[in-house]
Amino acid sequence: MIDVQQVSRYFGDVTAVNDVSFKVEKGEIVGFLGPNAAGKTTTMRILTTYLPATSGTATVAGYDVHEQSMEVRKRIGYLPENPPLYQDMRVKDYLEFVAKIKGVAPAERKKAVDDAMAKTAIGDVSTRVIKVLSKGYKQRVGLAQALVHNPDVLILDEPTVGLDPNQIIEVRQLIKRLAGDHTIILSTHILPEVSMTCERVVIINKGVIVATDTTDGLTKKHAGATRLTVSVDAPVAAVKEKLATIKGVTKVEETSGSEYTTVFVESDKDVEIRPEVAKIVVANNWPLYEIKAEDVSLEDVFLHLTTKEEGTVS
Amino acid sequence: MRNFLAIYQREIKSYFSSPIAYVVIGLFLILAGIFFYLIISNFVQMCMRVDMMAQQYRMAPQKMNVNMMAIRPIMHNLSLFALFFLPLVTMRLYSDEKRTGTIELLMTSPVTNLQAILGKFAAAGTLFLVMLSGTFLYIIFIFLYGNPEFGPIFTGYLGLFLLGLCYVSFGVFFSTLTDNQIIAAVSTFVFILVFWAIGWVSGMLSPALGQTLSNFSLIEHFDDFAKGVLDTKHILYYISFIFIGLFLSFVSIESTRWRGR
């Protein structure tokens, strides 16, 4: 449905997006994850034909975003970071206007507007002027605007910003419900959002894609499975050597920053190694300070991926 | 066409559902009314003086031309007031879209930039037409109490309308350059004023250069309209002026995409 091939975009000397490639299949929800200024918005703007790419090609629903931009525009719904609302219009008039310029046939316009309002639960403010609405309502009007012409592809730039927790849950559920009929790309810097709504994640940092995978796969791949932190008062070499002998251990890694010897012990997912670690510690008479199992979350993966980048650069 | 109409209607609604249209039209008509009163009462006094002189010297009363002595100055006044008001009408057309981010909706919808520009241009032009038609009321007064010629009035209004569209087309252009409405309005005003006054320096220059410059002057071309002369060269000049303004707007909007601002 969406195919991005080696897209780059420069603003003068600044590289906003650098050689980005990814694919999204029909009906998928893909999360675009990255810290602020990572290039999420620029990538989305290229996909929505708002900005041309400096190099590379992107197609949406089989149409090139640059060569056939009008065809692409008919098939996408876009919610920019700031919802594009005409403040002095009434909600219903605004949605009718959007339906009109998105090419919804006159006979279907009323139904399209009503459906979009029903999906986003804004029917009760349909005759209000947009500028008096709360941030949450404005955000939902923005979402309704993206949905009104029932597009194949929805591109949502930080759709839950500014909503209260209840509304966030509602919007996430709404996005999930929409997934079957629509292909959705949403960007966010909120991690739980991705693990809750998306099937696949594209992590982008400093204009470069650092990982693309399913949420589960990403956690698995980058986290190994279980990770123990073990702190003992003993020589590092001995600790590493002994712990590595435990069955199922894949890696023993030392860390600094503690006055004792601290190591990370990674093992296969289903193997419980804590009793074995304890046995070895006792057998060698090492004073034990800490033994802790860590759940590796997407957050760790994200931090790992986006800060590793930094480390190698400087 | 459908997209053009959608943009046009939205702009018209936005003018008339906010105070902008009413304030602009109202104040324009008040100003025009004051000057109408001054010019007409001046004209009436002059007529009375001429009549008295004629009686004194036992001559046939001289015929005074209301078209030349009252309506033409009124037309010139209106062309100046339009210069004050139209930049205020056009300043928000694109600046506001840029400031609030609605430009992203416009430029990711299947609407071409040309359709959007023409829709906005036509909406501001329509508002100007409403402003102008309000002044018909004053002209009707003249018809009630005098007997002016209709021809020069018609050409005068045609000239005013074309002149106003020149202001509007460059108003749209300056509005595409900035997200600040004040800057858009002031730049339009100064730009138009320069083209207005460009003919005034012609007396100080060599005849050839002076003639060329006054050919560029917006107001020199208006004189013939106000006199009742319909000349294709003036119409062509105004249409080219409008076209250039719209073309520059188009180029400006297209290049916004590349510059990414």
Cβ distance A103 to B102 less than 8 Å, yes or no, reads: no
- A78 with A209, same domain? yes
Nearest C-alpha of chain A: how many angstroms from B101? 5
Q: A78 to chain B: which residues are within 8 Å by CB?
A: 104-105, 108
Residue A260 touches partner B, C-beta closer than 8 Å? no
Evaluate whether B259 touches A14 at the Cβ level (below 8 Å).
Answer: no
Q: What is the CATH number of the domain that holds A27?
A: 3.40.50.300
Residue B255 touches partner A, C-beta closer than 8 Å? no
ipTM associated with this complex: 0.87
* Domain-embedded: residue A136: yes
Quick one: pLDDT at residue A313? 38
* Domain-embedded: residue A312: no
Closest chain B residue by Cα to residue A105: B2
pLDDT at B188 over 90: yes
Confidence grade of residue A144 (pLDDT, cut at 50, 70, 90): very high
Percent of chain A scored above 90 by pLDDT?
32
- A183 with A256, same domain? no
**How many structural domains are present in chain A?**
2
Out of A84, A89, A100, the one facing B104 most closely (by C-beta) is A84
Residue A34 has φ and ψ, to the nearest 5°, of 175, 160
pLDDT at A308 over 60: no
pLDDT at B261 over 60: no
- A140 with A109, same domain? yes
Q: B6 to chain A: which residues are within 8 Å by CB?
A: 97, 100-101
Mean pLDDT along residues B120-142:
94
Residue B258 touches partner A, C-beta closer than 8 Å? yes
Evaluate whether B28 touches B164 at the Cβ level (below 8 Å).
Answer: no
Nearest C-alpha of chain B: how many angstroms from A290? 53
* Buried-exposed string A120-132: b where 16+ CB fall within 10 A, e elsewhere: bebeebbeebbee
Rounded to the nearest integer, the mean pLDDT of chain A is 84
B41-45, B99-103, B174-178, B211-215: least confidently modelled range: B211-215
Q: Note down the domain range covering A107.
A: 2-220
Residue A195 touches partner B, C-beta closer than 8 Å? no
Cβ distance B13 to A76 less than 8 Å, yes or no, reads: no
Nearest C-alpha of chain B: how many angstroms from A77? 9
pLDDT at B17 over 80: yes
* Cα-Cα-Cα-Cα dihedral sign, residues B3, B9, B12, B17: negative
* Domain-embedded: residue A267: yes
pLDDT at A311 over 50: no
Burial class, B75, CB count within 10 angstroms (exposed 0-12 / middle 13-18 / buried 19+): buried
Quick one: pLDDT at residue B203? 72
Q: B110 to chain A: which residues are within 8 Å by CB?
A: 70, 73-74, 101-103
**Of the candidates A188, A220, A252, which is a domain's last residue?**
A220
Out of B102, B107, B260, the one facing A11 most closely (by C-beta) is B260
Out of A48, A83, A100, the one facing B108 most closely (by C-beta) is A48
* Domain-embedded: residue A308: no
Q: A74 to chain B: which residues are within 8 Å by CB?
A: 110
* Domain-embedded: residue A302: no
Best to test chain B binding among A70, A71, A100, A127 (most B CBs inside 10 Å): A100
Contacts of residue A88, Cβ cutoff 8 Å, sequence gap at least 6 = A129, A130, A131, B14, B17, B18
* Domain-embedded: residue A68: yes
- A182 with A72, same domain? yes
Quick one: pLDDT at residue B29? 95
Confidence grade of residue A168 (pLDDT, cut at 50, 70, 90): confident
Cβ distance A49 to B108 less than 8 Å, yes or no, reads: yes
- A65 with A172, same domain? yes
**Cβ pairs A/B, distance under 8 A:** 71
**Of the candidates A201, A220, A239, which is a domain's last residue?**
A220
Residue B68 touches partner A, C-beta closer than 8 Å? no
Cβ distance B100 to A98 less than 8 Å, yes or no, reads: no
Q: State pLDDT tens for residues A249-266.
A: 777 877 776 677 888 887
Query: What is the token pair recorded at B216?
Result: 């560029």
Out of B110, B112, B258, the one facing A102 most closely (by C-beta) is B110
- A209 with A269, same domain? no
One-letter amino acid at A270 equals D
Q: State pLDDT tens for residues A192-219.
A: 777 778 888 888 888 888 888 887 777 6
Nearest C-alpha of chain A: how many angstroms from B92? 12
- A131 with A271, same domain? no
- A45 with A190, same domain? yes
Out of A50, A87, A93, the one facing B108 most closely (by C-beta) is A50
- A215 with A231, same domain? no
Across A32-36, A234-238, B50-54, the highest mean pLDDT is recorded for B50-54
Cβ distance A50 to B107 less than 8 Å, yes or no, reads: yes
CB count in 10 Å sphere of residue A284: 12
Out of B3, B13, B104, the one facing A101 most closely (by C-beta) is B3
**Of the candidates A200, A220, A240, which is a domain's last residue?**
A220
Evaluate whether A303 touches A35 at the Cβ level (below 8 Å).
Answer: no
Query: What distance in Å separates the CA atoms of residue B13 and residue A247, rounded to the nearest whole number?
Result: 75
Quick one: pLDDT at residue B245? 96
* Domain-embedded: residue A161: yes
- A86 with A198, same domain? yes
Distance of CA B87 to the CA centre of its chain: 10
Confidence grade of residue B196 (pLDDT, cut at 50, 70, 90): confident
Q: How far is CA A251 from CA A25, A228, A267, B12, in A?
A: 36, 11, 7, 69
Residues shown for chain B? 261
pLDDT at B111 over 60: yes
Confidence grade of residue A113 (pLDDT, cut at 50, 70, 90): very high
Q: What is the CATH number of the domain that holds A279?
A: 3.30.70.1340
* Domain-embedded: residue A284: yes
* Cα-Cα-Cα-Cα dihedral sign, residues B166, B172, B178, B183: positive
Residue B1 touches partner A, C-beta closer than 8 Å? no
Evaluate whether B131 touches B85 at the Cβ level (below 8 Å).
Answer: yes
Nearest C-alpha of chain A: how many angstroms from B79? 31
Quick one: pLDDT at residue A299? 67
Mean pLDDT along residues A296-304:
67
Query: DSSP for chain B?
Result: -HHHHHHHHHHHHHHHSSHHHHHHHHHHHHHHHHHHHHHHHHHHHHHHHHHHHHHHTT-PPPPP-HIIIIIHHHHHHHHHHHHHHHHHHHTHHHHHHHHHTTHHHHTTSS--HHHHHHHHHHHHHHHHHHHHHHTHHHHHHHHHHS---HHHHHHHHHHHHHHHHHHHHHHHHHHHH-S-HHHHHHHHHHHHHHHHHGGGGGGGS-HHHHHHHHHH-TTHHHHHHHHT---HHHHHHHHHHHHHHHHHHHHHHHHHHHHT-
pLDDT at A220 over 70: no
Confidence grade of residue B259 (pLDDT, cut at 50, 70, 90): low
Mean pLDDT along residues A288-306:
72
- A109 with A164, same domain? yes
Cβ distance A93 to B13 less than 8 Å, yes or no, reads: yes
